[in-house]
Amino acid sequence: MRTLYKIAIENLSPGIRIANVLFPDPDFSGPFLLLKTQEDLKRLRALGLKECWVVREGAEASEKNPVPPKAAPGAPSETASPRTSADAPRTSAPAVPTSPSAQGGPAQSAISVEQELVSLKGFYQKSFLAARELFLQTQETGEVRIEAVTDVVDDIVGSVQRNRDALLCLKGLQRADLYTLCHSVNVSMLAVMFGKFLGYDQEQLRLLGLAGILHDIGKQFIPASILNAPRRLNPDEFAIIRTHSTLGYEKLAAHKDVPELVCRGVLEHHEKIDGTGYPHGKSGEDISVFSSILSLADVYDALSSNKPYRKALPPTTAITTLYEMRGSAFPPDLTEKFIRCIGVYPTGSLVRLSTGEFGVVCGNPHETLNKPRVLAIPRDAGRFLFTQARMLDLEKTPGVSIRAHLNPTDYKFDCQKVLKMWGTRGS
Ligand SMILES: [Fe+2]
């Protein structure tokens, strides 16, 4: 018998298996993460959570009557896990502050998410059209004309400077049939948001935004019959797809207006720190921090977006997957900072609260990842009671917590529209 129960983070020990890593979801069915070392525990505590759900096989336990955990038989002994210093400045890469809470960290925004969303009216469509123009020009002329997207990059940086979280709401507007274009805009937005979190300056954010839009530009040189094949690719076709990062780099490197940092980010966005990536199988600190930021944004958006052949993973599952890739694909420290930046419940998510109300996440202003600011909306007889909505800061609202992440389409609920209405009305 498999049982989940809640436990304080401070009571965890190596050998315990955590359900869904970070998320208090009692319905979760796996996969489970085995805490192997004290270093794993330290990292988990550093995420700012107070408690989590863990799993025991063959135990009779419940949230109310937890069984004290024992180390699993054969659990690896404590060893120093390899660390990659994501914070160390590297050649041609912006220096990442050693303490995100000192210069980046939780958002201290000039205006609220809902106010910023009102000012972003039409922004996603404009970004999408600019990316389409860039891609079409590249296909037609064989040249990459970055002028098509520089205004959009400036808009992204401007929005993130006003409120770091608001653009996450727009990410949900993507269409599966236009995946590549939406993905490029999303990666740009996510990379700039994360750069802001890390304390990057305006110019560094612009470079991240540009690299995000351009990261897959090399795919414009891959035959459409392979790129859009509605079937599993054979090894030769995979090899052709994998040339896209080199093709993009070569085109951009020939362009005098594209900074070297952007070119390198495009070249390295599929490298992995364990050396199993491509095109060059670089490892560790041979991959720039700038490139790892793009890579994190790329993978997170790919996991959390609808694709022609599969539905998007819930944000919580996408973040769990990223967490499990730390140390193999991405530097561990940088991965954990990315999760802190996005939040366990990303801005724009729909959740169910312990009060029974529905909630739209409106930013993660605190260190505690599972206590965001939420617009709470009662629901009665299948109808949302918007007139009774109230803004709650869960960090400052004892007794109210998030119980589950919900899929807005299951409830015909438009999170962005609701937040915009609230922003227009004022809070
Ligand atoms: Fe790519």
**Residue 218 alpha carbon to ligand 1 centre in Å:** 8
Q: How far is the CA of 216 from the centre of ligand 1 (A)?
A: 5
- Residues 360 and 94: beta-carbon distance below 8 Å: no
How many Å lie between the centroid of ligand 1 and the Cα of residue 290?
Answer: 15
Task: List, in sequence order, the alpha helices (H) in 199-329.
Answer: 202-214, 224-227, 235-241, 244-253, 260-268, 289-303, 315-325
Closest C-alpha among 412, 422, 347 to residue 391: 422
pLDDT at 286: 96
Domain boundaries, the chain: 2-57, 100-342, 350-425
Q: CA-based angle 317:325:178, to the nearest 5?
A: 60
The correct answer on CATH 3.50.50.60 for the domain covering 100-342 is no
C-alpha of residue 266 to centroid of ligand 1, in Å: 8
Rounded to the nearest 5°, which phi and psi values hold at 416? Answer: -65, -40
C-alpha span between 65 and 67 (Å, rounded)? 7
- For residue 426, what pLDDT is reported? 52
User: What's the helix, strand, coil split of the chain in %, to 5?
Assistant: 45, 10, 40
Distance 245 CA to ligand 1 centre (A): 6
Mean pLDDT of 146-151: 89
Taking the centre of ligand 1 as the mean of its atom positions, its distance from the CA of residue 76, in whole angstroms, is 35
Q: What is the mean pLDDT of residues 19-47?
A: 55
Decide: 266 and 214 in contact? Cβ < 8 Å: yes
Residue 37 buriedness (CB in 10 A; 0-12 / 13-18 / 19+) = middle
Which tens digit of pLDDT belongs to each residue from 216-243? Answer: 999 989 988 888 777 888 999 999 999 9
Q: What is the CA(344)–ligand 1 centre distance, in A?
A: 25
- If you measure from the C-alpha of residue 212 to the centroid of ligand 1, how many angstroms do you get, rounded to a whole number? 10
Q: How far is the centre of ligand 1, averaged over its atoms, from the C-alpha of 347 (Å)?
A: 25
State the distance from the centre of ligand 1 to the C-alpha of 294, rounded, in angstroms: 10
With a cut of 70, say whether residue 20 has pLDDT above it: no
pLDDT at 123 over 70: yes
How far does residue 333's CA lie from ligand 1's centre (Å)? 23
What is the 223 CA–ligand 1 centroid distance (Å)? 15
- Ligand 1 centre to CA of 126 (Å) is 23
Q: What is the distance in A from the centroid of ligand 1 to the CA of 200?
A: 24
Please name which of 324, 313, 363 lies closest in space to residue 343, comparing C-alpha atoms. 363
Over its C-alpha atoms, the chain yields an Rg (Å, rounded) of: 22
Bridge partners of 376?
Answer: 359, 390
What is the DSSP annotation of 80-147?
A: PPP---TTS--TTSPPPPS-HHHHSSS---SS-HHHHHHHTTTHHHHHHHHHHHHHHHHHHHS---TH
Is 255 exposed, middle or buried (CB count within 10 Å of its CB: 0-12, 13-18, 19+)? middle
Q: What is the pTM of this model?
A: 0.73
Q: How far is the CA of 241 from the centre of ligand 1 (A)?
A: 9
Average pLDDT, the chain: 78
